[in-house]
Amino acid sequence: MRKSKVLYRPVGLVLGALGGAVAGALFTRAWKLVGSEGEAPRATDEDRAWREILMAAALRGAIFATVKAAVDRGGAVGVRRLTGTWPG
């Protein structure tokens, strides 16, 4: 296993946890702007409409995927700066 890949694993884990927290906070803020009620619905909320539940799921997925891509890419760039090789 290449040095950069080994170095990237712990960095990726830490960045992933931080990214998850950031994505959760971003989703909460975004939902307050677009949602009809204060708290985002869960898929099993009986009193919430399908449309609202699916909209919340799509928004959450888009935010988490975007943050994950940004964190993964930033981590890989950082490892290349430290080691000189891309962690692929």
pTM: 0.83
Handedness of CA 21, 17, 54, 63 (dihedral sign): positive
Q: Could you tell me if residue 8 is inside a domain?
A: no
Q: Within 13 A of 88's CA, how many CA atoms are on the CB side?
A: 3
| Cα 11 from Cα 79, distance rounded (Å) | 9
Q: For residue range 8-57, list pLDDT tens digits in order.
A: 788 788 989 999 999 999 999 999 998 767 889 999 999 999 999 999 99
Q: Could you tell me if residue 88 is inside a domain?
A: no
- Across the range 66-81, mean pLDDT stands at 90
Residue 62 belongs to what domain range? 15-83
Query: Is pLDDT of 86 > 60?
Result: yes
Q: Could you tell me if residue 55 is inside a domain?
A: yes
Cβ pair 65, 59 in contact under 8 A = no
Q: Could you tell me if residue 62 is inside a domain?
A: yes
- Across the range 69-73, mean pLDDT stands at 93
**Total domains in the fold of the chain:** 1
Q: Could you tell me if residue 3 is inside a domain?
A: no
Q: Could you tell me if residue 7 is inside a domain?
A: no
Q: Could you tell me if residue 32 is inside a domain?
A: yes
Q: Could you tell me if residue 6 is inside a domain?
A: no
- pLDDT confidence tier of residue 62, bands split at 50, 70 and 90: very high
Rg (CA), the chain: 17
